[in-house]
Amino acid sequence: MSPLPTDTVANPIDLMAWCRANKDEFKPPVSNKYLYDGEDFFAMVIGGPNARNDFHVTNSEELFYQLQGDIVVVIREGDRLRPVPVREGETFFVPGGVPHAPTRPPGTLGLVIERRRPAGEIEHQQFYCDNCEALVHDQAFDCADIVEHFAQAMEAFWADPEKSTCPECGHRCGKPAPVARIEFEPEIRVIREGEA
């Protein structure tokens, strides 16, 4: 194995100093910034609040490390949704094939590491009913297209009454407001802007 030229190796990064220097990037609508954008994997820092209710499903694993503040990652287990609190300082590992939806309150920062997914591999965007937890919609993407089309597919889903109405209970799965805060006790409750 030949040695790497030293000019391709980036210096170590003081992560929290980097977050402070880039704090304006962690705001909606994007709320994320690449820390490393490698060929095998990439790492992003993601802030809050986010304003989405889609679930992401890939064949590959994702590692969460919560840097600042507490979030909830909702995962699909069997035919139920389970909210998993990921507190500041905690890691959370999502295996491949598990639908997951992070809800991030204002002021939070988290690191997410994902495998680079090649063109031709398929990943999914799914929506589950807030009321009865049934699957409302499943959209498959080629990974080659997902960066460009993921956000617009979400908007198209929210805007389409037919697609976004639960087939089981008739509840409309509409565009969510940004997360305002999360109550963890006595039970996990995500409160969005405009809600009590």
Residues that bind Fe ion (CB under 5 A): 129, 131-132, 134, 166, 168-169, 171
Closest to Fe ion by CB, 33 or 163: 163
Closest to Fe ion by CB, 71 or 136: 136
Q: CA 143 to CA 62: how far, in whole Å?
A: 15
Closest to Fe ion by CB, 145 or 160: 160
CB within 8 A of 23, min separation 6: which ones? none
Shortest gap between Cβ of 120 and Fe ion (angstroms)? Answer: 34
Closest to Fe ion by CB, 112 or 129: 129
Shortest gap between Cβ of 135 and Fe ion (angstroms)? Answer: 9
Shortest gap between Cβ of 136 and Fe ion (angstroms)? Answer: 7
Kind and range of the H or E element at 69? none
Shortest gap between Cβ of 80 and Fe ion (angstroms)? Answer: 13
CB within 8 A of 137, min separation 6: which ones? 126, 127, 157, 163, 164, 173
Say if strands 32-37 and 62-68 run parallel, antiparallel, or are unpaired: unpaired
Q: CA 144 to CA 117: how far, in whole Å?
A: 8
